[in-house]
């Protein structure tokens, strides 16, 4: 049987409802403004050496946002493009003020780590892995789509991810690892000058295995869809209810 490759958010979506995988619905995906800001930050850090050769911080931020937004804003108004640019620029500036590149040097960026499980290969994503040049530690950052009660009460999932990345990196690096989730608010539709308040959530030691979540994923896959679903606000409810292929 061929291996089916899925993303981490697809796995989490399946745990929430197995029908989401069939309908290609991902409630864990980033908002457009968050996705552009993330990609721009990754591009900025990938080309951070240019700061010492050919451009200023403002120039590199501007280039990074244009690269990240390429073709994603084709059908949007010029005012919205400007607001997206300002939003991403404020985010990058805030992040590098907190973690300046001359101290926190990028090691691996937007890293996908494959995790084999039965007939699936799940791609776990780690947004940033930086080296603290003043210490021996590596700092891992995991961008999350929301910062709510559900996330804050499921930090064991991220401690399992922390164990996995520490184990994978142990073959090439012996540095201790600090692990943070971080969150940037999506661009609000009506706010003209939205401030960027980045939330950082330290991940403590906890689960040292992803098996708990993988077993839930396995059980949900066998269900196809949640029985007696009472999620009346689900955007796929009508499609799922009338689907005769189950």
Domains of the chain and any CATH numbers: 31-209 (3.90.320)
224-240: pLDDT as tens digits: 888 889 999 999 999 99
Do residues 140 and 165 lie in contact, with contact meaning Cβ atoms separated by under 8 Å? yes
| Confidence at 115, pLDDT banded by 50, 70, 90 | very high
| Confidence at 1, pLDDT banded by 50, 70, 90 | low
pTM: 0.90
CA atoms within 13 A on the CB side of 121: 8
Pseudo-torsion of CA 100, 101, 107, 109, nearest 10°?
80
- What pLDDT was estimated at residue 196? 77
194-218: pLDDT as tens digits: 667 898 999 988 778 899 999 999 9
53-109: pLDDT as tens digits: 888 999 999 999 999 998 888 888 888 899 999 999 999 999 999 999 999 999 999
Calpha distance 239→10 (Å, rounded): 19
- What pLDDT was estimated at residue 192? 60
- What pLDDT was estimated at residue 208? 85
Tokens 């009508």 correspond to 238
């Amino acid at each position: 049987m061929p291996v089916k490759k899925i993303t981490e958010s697809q796995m989490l979506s399946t745990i929430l409802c197995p029908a989401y995988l069939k309908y290609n619905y991902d409630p864990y995906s980033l908002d457009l403004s968050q996705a552009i800001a993330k990609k721009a930050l990754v591009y900025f850090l990938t080309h951070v050496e240019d700061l010492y050769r050919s451009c200023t911080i403002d120039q590199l931020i501007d280039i990074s946002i244009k690269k990240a937004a390429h073709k994603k804003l084709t059908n949007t108004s010029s005012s919205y493009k400007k607001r997206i640019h300002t939003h991403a620029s404020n985010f990058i500036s805030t992040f590098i003020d907190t973690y300046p590149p001359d101290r926190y040097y990028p090691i691996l960026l937007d890293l996908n780590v494959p995790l084999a499980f039965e007939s699936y290969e799940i791609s776990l994503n780690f947004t940033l892995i930086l080296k603290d040049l003043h210490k021996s530690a590596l700092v891992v950052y995991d961008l999350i789509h929301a910062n709510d009660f559900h996330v804050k009460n499921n930090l064991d999932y991220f401690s399992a991810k922390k164990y996995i990345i520490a184990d994978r990196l142990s073959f090439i690096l012996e540095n201790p690892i600090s692990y943070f989730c971080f969150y940037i608010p999506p661009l609000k539709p009506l706010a003209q000058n939205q401030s960027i308040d980045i939330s950082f959530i330290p991940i403590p030691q906890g689960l040292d295995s992803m098996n708990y979540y993988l077993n839930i994923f396995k059980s949900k896959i066998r269900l196809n869809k949640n029985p007696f679903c009472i999620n009346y606000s689900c955007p796929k409810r009508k499609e799922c209810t009338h689907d005769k292929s189950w």
